[in-house]
Amino acid sequence: MLLSFLLGAPLRGGRFDRRKALLLILIIVGFITGGVTGALFYAQLQFYALTAPALICFALALLYHFYLA
């Protein structure tokens, strides 16, 4: 659901869902922060800037794998 629909819900007589709005705001902020951080790291490290996100994804995949086991 788009953030504009969440903001317009009270105008239509519905209720404002704070939980969904917080989730959407965190996703947007995380996307912008990740993009800026990635651009800054790329300027310094070139291709090696991708090692940190790759290691984080690998660690999360291992945690998820052992969580399911």
Is residue 69's pLDDT more than 90? no
Give the structural domain span for 25.
Answer: 3-68
Per the structure, how many domains does the chain have? 1
The answer, as to whether pTM is greater than 0.75, is: no
Each residue's pLDDT tens digit, 5-50: 777 888 888 888 889 889 989 999 999 999 999 999 999 999 999 9
Q: pLDDT: is 1 or 63 the higher one?
A: 63
Give the sign of the dihedral formed by CA 36, CA 38, CA 39, CA 45. Answer: positive
pLDDT confidence of residue 55: 96
- Residues 6+ positions from 42 with CB-CB distance below 8 Å: 49
Is residue 1's pLDDT more than 70? no
